[in-house]
């Protein structure tokens, strides 16, 4: 900072107040505020004009850009014959002859957190359309300003009518609705999928669940929020649908490829033929299916559940937010890099909710006090091995289904992948060690990297030794591989360090 500039600041802050009269200063202050308001008004006018022109252009071409498409069948989750749990027998304990082999790493790395999509220009509140409507989103009361949209009806679902409706819904008059939705996304820490479901709930409340008006309103709000979305119409009956572009591939939903991008029909309709508005909105972004933080939903804690290990005397009373469980129940299973095994990374890298950490972590930490990392890991491993009841997915769910950590703590049964995901979380959070998921055909386990030398079976990952820890090999300690599993041909999935 130059000496001249410092002197100028001192003159303004010290000399002026001492030489000006009160009325002079008030005039100066009023003039500055007036100038700023003029600048602000002009900037807002420029934003409004820029957005209006973009929306007008989009609406114009919307009436001309519909094409017939045949949707692809859903990609179903792969079915593997699960390995039954094995009871560890110390008399038949044989360590594998580990070799310095280069283990295959599943090519997945969770993207660094990045800003969620945003409107092309900032959305500001105004004095129009302030009538509110209230709704409940996964047990959480919410409210938005929707104006007169509760009485809004589409005149038709033909191209001209939808183009006209798009212009109406993107008018500045309804900016308060979009403003409120974006504010709720921020306030409740909603990931992209949660925000999509929020808009679905808003549109259902405003226009009626399942109506064409609700589908179209949800699509417009998602489009105006900066996401890649396509409007579609059933050729047979004129029913409207939304197709959403995502960063990853999604199991169990019909899809269609358009201009090298994949779009998913996320309402689970069984529709093959659709007329789709094949039109890009500049700067639109794909929906991410990662969860960087748990959504903040109203607390409805489940009944206490005692989870007791058979060794070490570890007993934990668990309770989870049932609203979060309902949210996870709707969450789509997805994968990245054209490799279905990356789906487990989504679960292992989703942070455990604050409610669960506050409930069970102090109890586990109390048990781990004054122990070494190896002993602490063995205590946690035994708790997961013996405190939970194993059952196959096809018996419980009728198909393959991985569980988020909270779900494993909530539901009465879990399998090898659920145990491994939960174990990977608590070791990273409570012991501070790096963990990888280890995939064998039909089985998922983990391996832990210790800073000190630890004996037992291991795999080498990027020149680091990870000691096998199998939450389904009951009650084997760290360093023991379940019989029938070969570490030399195992594949690993890296878990993000918390």
Whether residues 147 and 219 share a domain: the answer is: yes
| Residue at 369 is within a domain | yes
pLDDT in the model for residue 75: 87
User: Could you tell me if 250 and 240 are in contact, meaning their C-beta atoms sit under 8 angstroms apart?
Assistant: no
Lookup: tokens for 265: 């029909």
Distance CA 322, CA 320 (A): 6
pLDDT in the model for residue 46: 62
Question: Residues 6 or more apart from 17 whose CB is under 8 A from it?
Answer: 25
Whether residues 477 and 344 share a domain: the answer is: yes
Whether residues 343 and 481 share a domain: the answer is: yes
Phi and psi angles of residue 179, each rounded to the nearest 5 degrees, phi first: -55, -45
Cβ count near 460 (within 10 Å): 17
Q: What is the CATH number of the domain that holds 460?
A: 3.10.620
- How many domains does the structure of the chain reveal? 3
Burial of 27-41, coded b for 16+ CB within 10 Å and e otherwise, reads eeeeeeeeeeeeeee
Distance CA 446, CA 427 (A): 11
Nearest to 322 by CA among 138, 182, 62: 138
Q: How many CA atoms lie within 13 A of 30 on its CB side?
A: 6
pLDDT in the model for residue 6: 43
| Residue at 288 is within a domain | no
| Residue at 486 is within a domain | yes
Whether residues 246 and 270 share a domain: the answer is: yes
- The answer to whether the Cα torsion of 346, 493, 336, 498 is positive or negative is positive
Whether residues 377 and 425 share a domain: the answer is: yes
Whether residues 335 and 481 share a domain: the answer is: yes
Distance CA 457, CA 459 (A): 7
Whether residues 130 and 188 share a domain: the answer is: yes
Domain boundary among the residues 277, 307, 333 is at 277
| Residue at 163 is within a domain | yes
pLDDT in the model for residue 145: 97
Whether residues 260 and 335 share a domain: the answer is: no
| Residue at 286 is within a domain | no
Cβ count near 21 (within 10 Å): 8
Indicate the SS3 state at residue 121: coil
Show the beta-strand stretches assigned E in 206-300. Answer: 229-234, 240-245, 249-250, 255-258, 261-265, 273-277
Domain boundary among the residues 277, 309, 326 is at 277
Kind and range of the H or E run holding 16: helix 16-19
State how far Cα 345 lies from the chain centre.
Answer: 12
The pTM of this model reads: 0.88
| Residue at 18 is within a domain | yes
Whether residues 267 and 315 share a domain: the answer is: no
pLDDT in the model for residue 35: 57
Domain housing 417: 94-110+296-494
Whether residues 251 and 338 share a domain: the answer is: no
| Residue at 388 is within a domain | yes
Whether residues 221 and 369 share a domain: the answer is: no
Task: Tokens 């199998």: give the residue.
Answer: 470
Mean per-residue pLDDT pooled into runs of 10, the chain (498 residues): 44 48 69 61 66 88 89 85 82 63 66 81 92 97 96 92 94 96 98 98 96 97 97 93 94 94 93 92 92 96 97 96 98 88 92 96 97 98 97 91 97 97 98 96 95 94 94 96 92 88
pLDDT in the model for residue 175: 96
State how far Cα 306 lies from the chain centre.
Answer: 29
Whether residues 260 and 314 share a domain: the answer is: no
pLDDT in the model for residue 34: 65
pLDDT in the model for residue 40: 54
User: Could you tell me if 388 and 419 are in contact, meaning their C-beta atoms sit under 8 angstroms apart?
Assistant: yes
DSSP 398: S
Distance CA 318, CA 428 (A): 19
| Residue at 485 is within a domain | yes
């Amino acid at each position: 900072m130059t000496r001249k500039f410092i002197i100028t600041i001192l003159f303004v802050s010290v000399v002026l107040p001492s030489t000006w009269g009160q009325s002079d200063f008030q005039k100066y202050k009023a003039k500055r505020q007036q100038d700023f308001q003029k600048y602000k008004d002009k900037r807002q006018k420029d934003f409004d004009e820029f957005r209006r022109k973009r929306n007008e252009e989009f609406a114009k071409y919307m009436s001309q850009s519909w094409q017939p498409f045949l949707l692809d069948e859903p990609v179903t989750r792969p079915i593997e014959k699960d390995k039954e749990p094995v009871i560890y027998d110390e008399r038949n304990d044989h360590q594998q002859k580990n070799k310095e082999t280069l283990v295959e790493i599943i090519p997945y790395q969770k993207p660094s957190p990045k800003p969620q999509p945003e409107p092309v220009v900032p959305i500001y509140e105004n004095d129009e359309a302030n009538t509110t409507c209230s709704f409940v989103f996964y047990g959480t009361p919410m409210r938005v300003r929707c104006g007169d949209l509760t009485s809004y009806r589409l005149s038709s679902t033909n191209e001209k009518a939808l183009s006209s409706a798009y212009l109406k819904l993107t008018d500045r008059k309804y900016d308060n609705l979009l403003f409120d939705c974006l504010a709720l996304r921020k306030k409740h820490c909603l990931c992209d999928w949660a925000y999509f479901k929020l808009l679905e709930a808003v549109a259902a409340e405003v226009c009626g669940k399942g109506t064409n008006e609700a589908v179209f309103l949800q699509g417009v709000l998602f489009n105006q929020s900066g996401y890649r979305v396509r409007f579609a119409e059933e050729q047979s009956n004129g029913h409207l649908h939304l197709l959403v572009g995502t960063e990853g591939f999604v199991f169990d939903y019909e899809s269609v490829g358009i201009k090298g991008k994949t779009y998913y029909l996320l309402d689970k309709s069984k529709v093959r033929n659709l007329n789709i508005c094949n039109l890009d909105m500049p700067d639109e972004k794909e929906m991410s299916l990662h969860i960087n933080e748990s959504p903040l939903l109203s607390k409805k804690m489940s009944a206490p559940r005692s989870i007791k290990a058979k060794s070490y005397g570890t007993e934990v009373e668990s309770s989870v937010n049932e609203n979060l469980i309902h949210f996870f129940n709707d969450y789509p299973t997805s994968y990245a890099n054209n490799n279905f095994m990356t789906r487990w990374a989504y679960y292992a890298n989703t942070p455990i909710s604050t409610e669960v950490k506050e409930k069970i972590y102090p109890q586990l930490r109390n048990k781990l006090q004054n122990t070494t990392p190896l002993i602490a890991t063995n205590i946690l491993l035994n708790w997961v091995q013996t405190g939970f009841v194993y059952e196959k997915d096809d018996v419980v769910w009728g198909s393959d289904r991985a569980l988020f950590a909270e779900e494993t703590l909530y539901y009465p049964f879990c399998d090898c992948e659920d145990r491994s995901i939960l174990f990977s979380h608590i070791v990273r959070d409570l012991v501070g060690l790096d963990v990888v998921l280890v995939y064998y055909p039909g089985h998922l386990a983990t391996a832990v990297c210790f800073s000190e030398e630890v004996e037992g079976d291991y795999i080498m990952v990027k020149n680091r030794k990870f000691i096998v820890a199998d939450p389904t090999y009951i009650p084997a300690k760290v360093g023991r591989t379940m019989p029938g599993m070969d570490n030399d041909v195992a594949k690993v999935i890296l878990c993000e360090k918390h």
